[in-house]
Structure 1
Amino acid sequence: MSSGSHSSTVGDVETGLHKAMTTEEYEKENEGASIEPVASILSNSPKHTNLEWDGPNDPDNPHNWSEVRRWYYTFVVALMCLVVTFGSSIYVSSAGGIEAEFGVSRVVAFLGLSVYLVGLAFGPAVAAPISESSGRNVVYYISIPISMLFTTGVGKAHNIGTVLVCRFFSGLFASPVLAVAGGSIMDMWPVHMVGLAMSGFCVAPFAGPVLGPVIGGFLETRKSWRWSMWVLLMFSGAVLPLIASLRETYKPIILKRRAIKRGLTLPPKLPPGEALKLLFTVTLIKPFIMLFTEPIVLVLSIYMAFIFAVLFGFFEAFPYVFITVYQFKSDYQGLTFLGTGAGLLFGTIFYIFMDRKYYSPALLQPIPPVAESRLLPGKVGAVALPIGLFWLAWTARPSVHWIVPILAGVPFGFALILLFFTVITYFSMCFPAIVTASALAANNMSRYLTSAAFPLFTIQMYNKMGIDWATSFYAFVALALMPVPWLLERYGARLRAASRSNKIARAAAAIDAEKS
């Protein structure tokens, strides 16, 4: 759920702590630091335009659509994200069949999962320029069909090389949906409803990885490994008519198209070189810079990368545990992920309760809430995560009924979704929108690149350390990371005040204000 575009952010909430300084104040504070060139780029962002709605009741404004239409749109983009992430995990059950048919090792077979995740990591950089210049819907129209072509290539492959290449490009072209979908939600819903809409929407990308092994396990044993690709194509194909029914939600594109119909003169565009520089900075360079220069981004990216890596490592570990210890048949091994799915659902309900009861009303107050006020769900998740991992580590044994380690997935899924919600909300309140996009992109890349590595050594780790100590190792890491929300509560305001990215954004705002 990351963004590749400055407008495709999960939250666009200002804390009130980042007031724009004048250029003179800024230069005095930073003693002539060479920030102005970057600030000039940011201040010339495409969002600065003279085109506006025809008043507060403009029917073309997505905020004025009926709730039925907005919830339908939310459902469709959520379904697209479910299909994309479903495509990652349904492959897992195919690994055994690929290993047998092509005569490769288990590790090589699992590379098909890893390269798909690498594609998900870098795809948002493809989505950003398209979304900015042509709108959200064009990304949806292009992304899913091209990904389906490469999925077909996997299903028709006659060697492992074709499988791996097609899996990478399938993930690469599917991932723009994940990058742009959050922006579509933000386009439609007022700020006090964003939490509810995003909470419901975010369940889908997590439900996909849970459903994949469940369905794929039955397909691999009763059909063949290729059927996992055919079912993925069926799911993707079923979404296409729904995509075709969507209207554009991105404000600059809606207003631009309307202005052309009315014969109006459009505001001048950025020079191509300047626009390319902006997009390249925001989507590729800035995320890497923030990852290594912003402590908030670095720490939370490490935290989420670890959790996602454990999740994708479990795609290999769970079958190993339940087949080795409980002699589960291959077609039933995917059902072991249902505990995690239940945890995701409970975590979402908990977050929605917090949002409707406390967070959304706070956004309507004259004084905006500070970012650290949103850390409570993360604290709950940070405590639940090691509990779930230790639970799994020391109950997966023949003397304990199999339902007990399956239920360990409940606190794990509960923690996963709560920490994810906390991170994206905290980022959105720590930084201005364009900086939030880069922070989320850094988080997205670190999550998927780390997740791509874990399945390649999980079985070796479990063989050498044993189920109890291998899972306990993860639990101890989770225990070490548990204080992060409390540390951010104490030091977060100080880190935000010292953030170089925020200083650049404030300078850009000041420059833009002076120009106007």
Structure 2
Amino acid sequence: MPSLNSGNNLPPIKALNQTNLRETMQSFLQYRRARFEVQAQIDRDLEKAKDAASPSGPNTTQPAHDVTPASVKSSQSCEDDDQESPDSSDEKEHPATDLPIGNIPQIDSDEIEEVYTPVQCSRTVETIRTHYSDGTALGQALTGVHVRDRRTHEGHGGQVFVVDWAGPADPLNPHNWSMLRRIGVTLQISMIALFVGAASGIDATVLPQAAKDFGVSEVAESLATGLYLVGMGLGSLIAGPFSETFGRNAVYTGSFAIFMLFIMASGLSPNFGAQITFRFLAGCSASTPLVCSGGSIADMYNGLEKTWSFPVYAVPAFGGPMIVGWPYIFEYTYHIGQGLANIIFIAMYVGTQINFLFVPIIYKMTNRRNQEAESQGQHHFSPEIRLWYAMFGAAVAIPVSLFWLGWTNYGSISIWSAIFAVVLFGYGVTGIFLCVYMYIIDSYGIYSASALTFVSLIRYVVAGGVTVVGIPFYEKMGTHYTLTIMACLSVVLVPIPYLLYFYGPWIRAKSRFAVAG
């Protein structure tokens, strides 16, 4: 099974046993050889950095931060590298400890000669005689590292080191994974979201029985669902920043392991207090796929590929809550059993599949916009095209389905009317989710995980509160008025994707974290 590693984590170490001992030893020798090659490259880079910062260069009286244009030249042959290789007879002593880069291990030359394999020379560009400080000169010399001035949101003054991939073909870059592996990882993330989503509403399916067992009212027992949702919102404040610091794989694995413990504890709770406590903690650890999934998709797919890859993640994942049922719409109105009423809510999940019908159309339109952007010398197309999933009918489908369900939810009207309304509602909700998350990802780029954190916080805290007040609302207002009120509120929100489509660039220009254009 492909790894979930789409961040900065090292690949897992295989277990050492008799069957793979030979393979492991070969890998170890390859690793040592690569390590020595890297050490040799570092030594050469340190020598270049020392030469660049040498006091013998011109204009040494300038401040350390003052930079004059650097002369660059291309290596025309392999002789220069051969002269500086570790097995050279006139090897120099490199003052690595003079530079503020941490401790670099030194390797004996006889040890290098034992396993060192010469690396095929490539054409490199070396920087000659700049007036950087020692640390900045090192950043100019190291491969894959460059130095730039701090930007506004990073503070004032000084410079920062920017570490990039080793090259466009770096195998550690998730964009370079095979298509099969990327799809496999996407489906894994989708399954995680499916499980944590299903756990959010699983208590609601047995609400009356759970309330009776714990000796509390159904309103109180609904806290098991409400606090879980609130926990998902609050947990996103931790999962998002952690995924950008420690890598997404570590956060996925660690949070899901904790989630399994807390959700098991909530099922085995001896009393109501323990149940809602463990449900809240389970919700906190279940927030990872909500805030990290967007970053994971962005790590693996380019802008055009996200048009179809994000629906591959989101549509299966949305089945969890739909499997958030509710007795008032079907069970009490049509006098059917509790189990059958919950099963009918799967119709909402069927409605999510309608979004797949729009994927080829939107992909074709996105591809055309992408080509237009490239022809104009732009690196990316406008994020506003992500709103098409909502503009093509999803935004309108939500109020229509709620009005439909509220005004036809009578025992005298066929139950199939309500089922088809639920199908339409599932299509609308998933379409809105697709466009919102992709729009945020494309609008904020590397800051998308943090942006999705606040979206998830607001979304699930509000959802948790509405869940608790839902029972009194249905009981006091009735199904018809409750659904009609929600439909009216959704009507007010329908214009938002259309407004963002036209005014989104102006709004994004007001943010220092959003992408330009």
TM-score (norm: length of structure 2):
0.65
Q: 1:386 to 1:128 in 2, by over 3 A?
A: closer
Does 2:482 align with 1:475?
no
Distance 1:57 1:429 in 2: 23
Does 2:165 align with 1:52?
yes
Deviation (angstroms), 1:51: 4.8
Does 2:154 align with 1:40?
yes
Deviation (angstroms), 1:110: 0.6
Q: Secondary structure at the match of 1:443?
A: helix
1:331 to 329, 339, 347: 339
2:418 to 387, 405, 415: 405
1:418 to 423, 431, 436: 431
Deviation (angstroms), 1:169: 0.6
C-alpha contact 2:219 2:472 (8 A) present in aligned 1: no
Deviation (angstroms), 1:112: 0.5
Q: Which amino acid aligns with 1:329?
A: G
Deviations 1:224-258 (A, max 9, x none): xxxxxxxxxxxxxxxxxxxxxxxxxxxxxxxxxxx
Q: Which residue of 1 aligns with 2:137?
A: none
Q: 1:491 to 1:129 in 2, by over 3 A?
A: closer
What RMSD, in angstroms, separates the aligned Cα atoms of the two structures? 2.6
C-alpha contact 2:291 2:456 (8 A) present in aligned 1: no
Deviations 1:2-35 (A, max 9, x none): xxxxx99xxxxxxxxxxxxxxxxxxxxxxxxxxx
Q: 1:423 to 1:401 in 2, by over 3 A?
A: same
Q: Which residue of 1 aligns with 2:328?
A: 320
Q: 1:131 to 1:481 in 2, by over 3 A?
A: closer
1:128 to 240, 246, 256: 240
Does 2:348 align with 1:340?
yes
Deviation (angstroms), 1:73: 1.2
Q: 1:41 to 1:418 in 2, by over 3 A?
A: farther
Deviations 1:415-468 (A, max 9, x none): 11111122223333444532x444322211111011001121222222222221
Distance 1:374 1:204 in 2: 19
Q: Secondary structure at the match of 2:163?
A: coil
Q: Which residue of 2 aligns with 1:495?
A: 507
Q: Which residue of 2 aligns with 1:275?
A: none
C-alpha contact 2:229 2:283 (8 A) present in aligned 1: yes
Does 2:224 align with 1:78?
no
Deviation (angstroms), 1:345: 1.0
C-alpha contact 1:116 1:172 (8 A) present in aligned 2: yes
Deviations 1:324-362 (A, max 9, x none): 211110111112212211211102432x22332211442
Does 2:468 align with 1:461?
no
Q: Which residue of 2 aligns with 1:217?
A: none
Q: Which residue of 1 aligns with 2:357?
A: 349
Q: 1:461 to 1:164 in 2, by over 3 A?
A: same
Distance 1:129 1:483 in 2: 32
C-alpha contact 1:389 1:474 (8 A) present in aligned 2: yes
Deviation (angstroms), 1:398: 1.4
Deviation (angstroms), 1:38: 6.1
Whichever of the two has the greater Rg, that structure is 2
Deviations 1:294-338 (A, max 9, x none): xxxxxxxxxxxxxxxxxx4xx4xx311212211110111112212
Structure 2 matches for 1:24-173, cutoff 5 A?
39-41=153-155, 49-53=162-166, 55-173=167-285
Q: 1:44 to 1:442 in 2, by over 3 A?
A: farther
Distance 1:403 1:487 in 2: 35
Structure 2 matches for 1:67-466, cutoff 5 A?
67-211=179-323, 312=324, 315=325, 318-350=326-358, 352-365=359-372, 366=374, 367=376, 368-379=380-391, 380-434=393-447, 436-466=448-478
Deviations 1:451-500 (A, max 9, x none): 00112122222222222121111111111222222322343333233x14
- Which structure carries more relative contact order (alpha carbon 8 Å, separation 6+)? 1
Q: Secondary structure at the match of 1:501?
A: coil
147-156 or 477-486, larger mean C-alpha shift: 477-486
Deviations 1:171-227 (A, max 9, x none): 11121233223222222223321221111101133111122xxxxxxxxxxxxxxxx
Q: 1:464 to 1:387 in 2, by over 3 A?
A: same
Q: Secondary structure at the match of 2:314?
A: helix
Distance 2:468 2:224 in 1: 10
Unaligned runs of 5+ in 1: 1-6, 9-35, 212-311, 507-516
Distance 1:62 1:210 in 2: 31
C-alpha contact 2:258 2:282 (8 A) present in aligned 1: yes
Distance 2:226 2:449 in 1: 25
Deviations 1:340-390 (A, max 9, x none): 11211102432x223322114423441443333443322222211111001
Distance 1:38 1:111 in 2: 44
C-alpha contact 1:185 1:198 (8 A) present in aligned 2: yes
C-alpha contact 1:377 1:419 (8 A) present in aligned 2: yes
Deviation (angstroms), 1:71: 1.4
Q: 1:491 to 1:69 in 2, by over 3 A?
A: closer
Deviations 1:74-132 (A, max 9, x none): 11111111111111011211322220111101011010001111111021222234323
C-alpha contact 1:117 1:171 (8 A) present in aligned 2: yes
Distance 2:158 2:311 in 1: 32
Distance 2:511 2:339 in 1: 52
Deviation (angstroms), 1:58: 3.0
Q: 1:210 to 1:44 in 2, by over 3 A?
A: farther
Q: 1:173 to 1:415 in 2, by over 3 A?
A: same
Q: Which amino acid aligns with 1:410?
A: V
Q: Secondary structure at the match of 2:354?
A: helix
C-alpha contact 1:196 1:356 (8 A) present in aligned 2: yes
Q: Which amino acid aligns with 2:456?
A: N
C-alpha contact 1:119 1:172 (8 A) present in aligned 2: yes
Distance 1:407 1:332 in 2: 16
Q: 1:44 to 1:113 in 2, by over 3 A?
A: farther
TM-score (norm: length of structure 1):
0.65
C-alpha contact 2:394 2:432 (8 A) present in aligned 1: yes
Q: Which amino acid aligns with 1:418?
A: G
Q: Which amino acid aligns with 2:249?
A: N
C-alpha contact 1:344 1:417 (8 A) present in aligned 2: yes
Distance 2:187 2:426 in 1: 22
